Amino acid sequence: MKCVLIVSEGAEVLFCWADEEFEKNLHSKYFHSDESLQSPTFGDSINTLLAPLIISCVTLLEKIGDTYTCFTAENGHLCVLHMFGECLFIAVNGDGLENEDDLRRKLYVLKRLTEVHFGLVTLDGQLIKKELRPSDSDQRNLVWKTFQSLLLTYNTLRNEDQSFAVEAVERLIHPKLCEHCIEFLEKQIVHYINNSNERGGEEVLHAFILVNTKLLALFSSRNASSLRPADLLSLILIVQDLYPGFGAPQVPGQDIEDNVAAEEYFTPNPSPSTTSSGGSWMDDASSTSSQGDPEIQIAEDSLKILSGPLPESTNTRRVFLDANLREGYCPMMPHSMYCLPLWQGMSLVLLTKFSGSQLGLSLYQLLDGFSMMERKLLEGQDMQHIIRSHPFMADLRQRTDRFVKSLGGRETPLQNTWLEFKNKAFSRNETGTPAELAQACKNVKHQLCSVYRQLFLSSPISGTHALPLNMQTRVRKHVQEKLMDWKDFLLVKSKRNITMVTYLEDFPGLVHFIYVDRTVGQMLAPSINIEDKSTSELGNSVLANFIKNKGEKLEVIDVPVLGDDSAPIGMLAGDYYRKLLRYYSKNHQAELVKCYELLTMHLGIIPSDFIIQQCHDLARKLWEPSHIPLL
């Protein structure tokens, strides 16, 4: 029995997802058996149930600046709460299958998904309410169904997919094919679109191919910011939600043939050298043979094809991603995301910038400046002291003037609010107190977020098609032609990327491992398929190391203790590893510090000393391809 909500400080439900059991329980509690009396709607019932909790939580914040973050109700239901800005996020579990960390992680993931879809608007409590709960009922249903579906997909992937279990991106292990695909994306996809007169002012920054949840190839153009691993994992989640792969839950009514006979899978031979591309995809015949390959043979026995109609229409979304550009940093830069399904379980994703997207950077820089100014004013500092202590504050006035002027007469509310602030803050006869100026500063921030919303969120959540559909169709068909011979192999490979067969002889007693490079947010693990979830005869261990760029292991130091309401350890739900790397780098500022994790599972009868030595040996074996002399 599960439920997730986002509510306002006034106890208004802005978003809700509940499973069938929770809805039935709520229905039985508030349903009137007397047909002459009208039963409350689900929204009214959930409001009645949780209003006391919400009001008490908000009151505690107002009175003492603190509140409870987790409690267990009399009926045994576990509740976790977290206040993000002016919105209270609540997760409830009544079946005992989720603990406090699971529920808190779910809330942080939901918060991240709102940021990916709404960008800087999430910084303004009034505006995010309008996005999460539009006045139009059809639009509200679309928004709620989008996030409800994303939560369901996340729960499934968290339980069934190793990359989401450890929150890191998993690449398909086939170096030559990956290299050829990257080259193909660069020269025949990105170059084609960016040099076309039909592209409607859009420019492809990133293009990548997914096979289920695994990354086959990623190409980023030279003038693009690097794609942050947390953003890439969020995009993989969106793609899996749009076009579920093999492991995702089947959507009711989706036309999938479940009873297709098993087929024999094999690595295709190199394409003839007379192909239109001017050469074969692979020129190493030995690497393409399936004879004696345990990974492929295991997959042949266990995998069946899922076939179904390929959607003809593409799915486009406006997404907001981390960007570190020459002009500055923006944590929520607007992009257009085009997800082009190739086959069941395989997709091509294009991320583009569009005309006017650079305004996102300008707006963030202004918002960041006014946020700092507001904090200083709330501390009681006067405006003149703030300007003297922070020289860039004087530049903030000039940049805001230029930005408001560049909009012309289109945004009168921003012009009026900015003029009011200037009269209070910068006039010779300054009359505004720090509290009054802080409120005026907050008003300017609200209007800046309103401009951001008008520029980038005026269309529905599904976005608009700036790249012509015929261009998208040509691109998709071109990729399908290139990967046609590899399709079956790749789908098998996504389920059997590597297997434990390779490691059993060298590491007796080792059952499973997951290796994670936390510096780049990527992981490697053998395929796993556990029918019986009992682990009574299994033991596990974790090996984590921080190293310098020359491969020297760093000394172990105490890391900061996380608070009860801190973001969970991970990449998708928070920023733990980036902060940890910065913390470790304090004493090694002249060197690049990297972090690696190795999680292992062994038979319980294996002695602890042997397990520790085996972990070190396995780490050496995994690091050998990178030539990192460790341990």
The CATH number of the structural domain formed by 360-456 is 1.20.120
Name the E strands within 148-279: 169-170, 203-211, 214-220
Output the average pLDDT for the chain. Answer: 81
List of residues 6+ apart from 402 with CB closer than 8 A: none
214-240 pLDDT tens trace: 999 999 999 899 999 999 999 999 999
Report the first-to-last Cα separation within the chain, whole angstroms: 46
Distance (Å, whole) CA 419 – CA 602: 67
Instruction: Give the count of alpha carbons within 13 A of 49, CB side only.
Output: 24
Give the model's pLDDT for residue 54. Answer: 84
Q: Point out which residues pair with 329 in neighbouring strands.
A: 324
CA distances to 190, 218, 265, 342 from 487, rounded to whole Å, are 21, 18, 10, 9
pLDDT at 38 exceeding the cut of 70? no
d(CA 207, CA 191) in angstroms, rounded, equals: 11
- Other CB atoms within a 10 A radius of the CB of residue 314 amount to 19
- pLDDT the model gives residue 271: 38
All CATH 3.30.450.70 domain ranges in the chain, comma separated: 2-160
pLDDT, position 427: 75
β-bridge mates for residue 523, sequence order: 170, 516
Ordered strands of the 522-524 beta sheet: 169-170, 522-524, 510-517, 594-603, 538-547
Strands 169-170, 87-93: parallel, antiparallel or unpaired by DSSP? Answer: unpaired
d(CA 241, CA 151): 9
Long-range CB contacts (within 8 A, 24+) of 390-395: 393/369
Question: 24: helix, coil or strand?
Answer: helix
- Is pLDDT above 90 for 170? yes
Q: What is the pLDDT of residue 276?
A: 37
Per-residue tokens: 135? 């006045």
User: Range(s) for CATH 1.20.120 in the chain?
Assistant: 360-456
Following DSSP, what letter does each residue of 456-505 receive, concatenated? HSSS-TT----S-HHHHHHHHHHHHHHHGGGHHHHHHHHH-SS-THHHHT
Identify the helix (H) or strand (E) that includes residue 576: helix 576-585
Give the whole-angstrom CA distance, residue 207 versus residue 387. Answer: 44
- Token code pair at residue 429: 């006869």
Distance in angstroms (rounded) separating the CA atoms of residues 235 and 243: 12
**SS3 call for 538:** strand
Mean pLDDT to the nearest integer, 556-581: 80
Mean pLDDT of 176-204: 93
Class of domain 2-160: alpha beta
Check whether 148 has a pLDDT greater than 90.
Answer: yes
354-405 pLDDT, tens digit each = 888 889 999 999 999 999 999 998 888 888 888 888 877 778 999 999 999 9
Angle between helix 175-184 and 469-483 (nearest 10)? 150
Residue count (the chain): 631
Q: How many CB atoms lie within 10 A of CB 622?
A: 18
